[in-house]
Amino acid sequence: MLRQELPEVKSVLGKLAAIGQRGPGAITFEPVLGAGADLRPTDANLSELAHTVDTLRASPVPFTTDRRDAALAQGGTSLGGAFPKTAAHLRLEGDVIDRREILKGGEPPPGFAPCLLKFARSSDEAESAVEFAFWLMAKKAGIRLPRACLVHDGECCHFASERFSRYRRPAGTPARRHDHTLNGMLHRRASDGAIDYEEFMRLSRRLGGASEAQECFRRALFNVLATNRDDHGRNHAFLYDETDRSWTLSPAYDQNPQVANVLIALTWLGSTQIPTQFASLLRMAEIGGISPKTTREIYTQVEAATVGGWRAAARQAGVPAAMITY
């Protein structure tokens, strides 16, 4: 039966049909191919999934074309990003939740939140804990964030965050928000070269006014101070509110250490040098219409959360001691 579906998956329309209703953002495709519509949530064994992911990562040629097409028809779509992840419905209670089985597909039942779960590598136990520690630091830094936690599958922990492009209307019906990356907003592809924080700041201010300019500046400082150098144009996004037709910065995601001695993703005022002078921060703030007083307040809060807060956040997240020092 799957074989009959394969030619369809191979066409562009076939791929959109396979995405069906599972994709990120608010756009869905009809008719749906294969299991793309999956109306009912079902249980999946998390540690088995994690082992399969590990095997695929270790294999130089993980999929034949046919298997890839079959997986597309079954699994709907990629959720974006370089690392393996899955959509799951979770009860978000506390920092770490124990789940051997996760619910996948359909709409989340009452009490469950639609989440994106990033599979940890079995060879790198600290990976998920570090991402969660960064989430804790970002929260302390006052950054807008999705709810998040670590999911322990009995063997290791995976990082999960609530999908911000999904929500429930007051009547309880599920709804979706349009989600557009910084790259997309600027009509830029990854291969088009670096985006500058100045462009990000001007766009945030133009779309969302003073509040979004400040949010952008807070994230810029966080990424500089927390050594998140991989903050490329697909690691920032905007959400569209259809009711009041406004754009805001989406909750922040993919905040991870990427220690490099130059800025390898977004540049700062045309330079790949890491800003070290307060004057350079003030110049960026000025582009966002942020006063020097507010700039200092944001700086003080972000510095306390990152430079001053790493050890506490990392301990809370369960990062091993050697990794905390590193």
Ligand X SMILES: Nc1ncnc2c1ncn2[C@@H]1O[C@H](COP(=O)(O)OP(=O)(O)OP(=O)(O)O)[C@@H](O)[C@H]1O
Tell me how far apart the 2 most distant CA atoms of the chain are, in Å: 65
Q: Give min distance, CB of 58 to ligand X, in A.
A: 18
Which residues sit opposite 161 in a β-bridge?
A: 116, 148
Q: Is 318 left (phi over 0), alpha (psi -120 to 50) or beta?
A: left
Using the contact rule CB under 5 A, the part of the chain among 17-25, 90-98, 227-235, 308-316 near Mg ion is 227-235
CA neighbours closer than 13 Å in the CB half-sphere of residue 305: 25
- Cβ atoms of residues 221 and 266 within 8 Å: no
Q: Is residue 83 close enough to count as binding ligand X by CB under 6 A? A: yes
**322, burial (CB in 10 Å: exposed 0-12, middle 13-18, buried 19+):** exposed
DSSP 143: -
Q: Give min distance, CB of 230 to Mg ion, in A.
A: 8
Look at the block and give the residue holding tokens 């994230």. 219
Q: Give min distance, CB of 112 to Mg ion, in A.
A: 24
Q: Is residue 184 close enough to count as binding ligand X by CB under 6 A? A: no
Residue selected from 80, 257, 289, 308 as contacting ligand X according to rule CB under 6 A: 80
- The contact mask relative to Mg ion for 77-106 (x = CB under 5 A, - = no) is ----x-------------------------
User: Coil, strand or helix: which one is 69?
Assistant: helix
Q: Which amino acid is at 10?
A: K
Q: Give min distance, CB of 294 to ligand X, in A.
A: 27
- The contact mask relative to ligand X for 157-176 (x = CB under 6 A, - = no) is ----xxxxx-----------
Would you say how long the chain is, in residues?
A: 326
Q: Is residue 116 close enough to count as binding ligand X by CB under 6 A? A: yes
Q: Give min distance, CB of 234 to Mg ion, in A.
A: 6
Buried b (16+ CB within 10 A) or exposed e, 265-294: bbbbeeeeeebeeeebbeebbebbebeeee
DSSP 49: H
Q: Is residue 165 close enough to count as binding Mg ion by CB under 5 A? A: no
Residue selected from 16, 17, 70, 79 as contacting ligand X according to rule CB under 6 A: 79
Binding site partner of 164, from ligand X, Mg ion, none, Cβ cut-off 5-8 A by kind: ligand X
Contact positions with ligand X (CB under 6 A) in 200-239: 234-235, 237
Please say which residue, 227 or 294, places its beta carbon nearer to ligand X.
Answer: 227
Look at the block and give the residue holding tokens 């979004």. 212
Q: Give min distance, CB of 133 to ligand X, in A.
A: 15
Residues lying near Mg ion in the complex (CB under 5 A): 81, 235, 254
Residues lying near ligand X in the complex (CB under 6 A): 24, 79-83, 116, 146, 161-165, 234-235, 237, 253-254
